[in-house]
Structure 1
Amino acid sequence: MPTEGDPIDEFDFDTDLDGPGPPTFRATILGDTLTLNEWWPFLLSGGPAREHFRARRDDGVAIADLRRWREKDGSGELSVEFLSGGGRVRAERVIEGWARMAGYSRVWFPDRVVDLIAPGPPPIAPVAVTCPTCRATWNDESADFWLEVRDSGSFPRVCPVCGAVMPQWGPAEADDPGAGPGSANVRPRFHQERSRDPAH
């Protein structure tokens, strides 16, 4: 195990080190839109990359690493570490609202802790997303869908039409036209978390 002050090789990544472990997601928040990507060790975090994060901050973009912990009852907690704090207040509000929908019971922000919901059955409500690349629209409100959201810790993140990363889903509008042609029988697949999550 490296000691304090030792250089860390970004390619020598050990998930067994003591501590909170690697993040689960890299989150990007722009306005009210939250996009998640699975976290990987090659993602920039500090050092010379700080200039890039400062530029994102100045452009109003928030970037954060999210860590997820799951309890035996299926509920989960989330910690948030901001790398770029553009629109910080709004970004925290977006993360909090998304975490509530996704079934998290608590969110740990750098300076406060937010209790969201008690463990229990997931909400049953229509949600939707539009792929920003091919414009296919997806929606769902089934119990199985919400159980999968709880289990995976996020809404489906990849468009099954074009393979692009989609934003996290939000409440469906009353005049939402529904899923795109042919999508009624195709549900976007949920990503399976890697085994590095010790509580999964």
Structure 2
Amino acid sequence: MDMEGNPTISVDQKLELGWLEWGKKLKMSRKKYEALYKSCTYWSSASESPIECMLFDEVKKLGLDPLINITLGDLLLDCKRDIAGRFIHTCAGDRYDQVYLIKDGDRPVPILIVECDGGHHMKEKIIRSDAKKEHNLKLHFPHVLVLRFTGSQIDGNYVIYFILQTFYCDPVFGVGLMLNFIGKF
């Protein structure tokens, strides 16, 4: 009750705004959306599917902090300070589900990209599109590894630990990351 004796209702503003903004985009019922939202400790409204939300939550719990739904143009700008590349390249709009970065001096460097692929990624047209997207990425960041998982694969813990192991054992940046990883456990 408030000061005038009227009943008050507690509202989770982030939940309500998230549902209005992109609940329908996820193609989920309100009840399922709310259950997913409440099950996640960490939440990114940039994720484009429920499985991406769950993956983001799991890797955040283990200390990783990926960028979500980032374009190649944004990576070129942030990591290579290439403002022209953000607009000139036809591939600048390619989007990546999760981008894992480390620091090399004062600049961020992408070392791992994780893609959450639905069933439509098994169609020839999408396979070609994904291959072109990876090719465009390798032109600018040849050392970056791209991992692709289906929703059913992500629903298991082994994918989370595979991502952790891949991130901390990166062959380009070496032992320092592995020692940091060991220190977390």
Tell me which interval the TM-score lies in, with the shorter structure as reference length: under 0.3
By percentage of residues, which structure has more helix?
2
CA radius of gyration, larger in: 2
TM-score of the superposed pair, with normalisation by structure 1: 0.26
TM-score of the superposed pair, with normalisation by structure 2: 0.27
